[in-house]
Amino acid sequence: MAQGRDAPVDDAVARAMTALDRRRFLPPDQRPHAHEDRPLAIGHEQTSSQPSTVAAMLRLLAVPPGARVLDVGAGSGWTTALLARLVGPTGSVLGLERHRDLARWGAANLSTTGMPWAAIELADEGTLGRPVVGGYDRVLVSAAATELPEALLEQLAVGGRMVIPVRHTMLLVERDRAGVRTSEHGSYSFVPLVTTSPTRDAGAPPDRRRPRRPRT
């Protein structure tokens, strides 16, 4: 029987999100709100993105077991942990975060999940991603670029997929031997993608990945 329009989805992404409670990746004052489908502040002008947006991005990424994955903007470690659950012990996930305190906290959160094939590290100053021989099978980016970053395209393996917002549009980028093709998948609001380390802490964090109203 076909599922109804609002029926819960039962797939690898849904199972990963059930196994890895968002609450574990939130500051104490935000944990009572973990079940709410909205962004929650984690400090340093960053948020834990709303679960429906995270799920949409992960389904678009289509992460297979055994993949090598790059997570740009790891934050609290939740998306890195979800990616690690999807790739399993035969894969690997590298989460990068430009805020030193968040990188440490995210790494500590990730360490409690028992998935040593994933890690969160401080992003390299002035660099997008971290090049590896052969590239990454999947790349997830959690901030908006003004244009498709050539540096990340170069790190995407043949046969790979990248999900990245460019301005306010979610893009799926696919690389094959013939080149790169992109497709658009909805309109969202994001903080800018930057490569420099922050120089100071700021006040109340803005939404990091909040869906905008559909374009008409």
Q: Exactly one of 49, 76, 92, 142 is catalytic; which is it?
A: 49
Task: Spell out a b/e string for 137-154, using b for 16 or more CB atoms within 10 Å of the CB, else e.
Answer: bbbbbbbbbeeebeebbe
CB crowding 62-71: b at 16 or more within 10 Å, else e:
ebeeebbbbb
Question: Does the annotation mark 49 as catalytic?
Answer: yes
Q: Which structure tokens are listed for 106?
A: 């995210």
Show which residues are catalytic.
Answer: 49
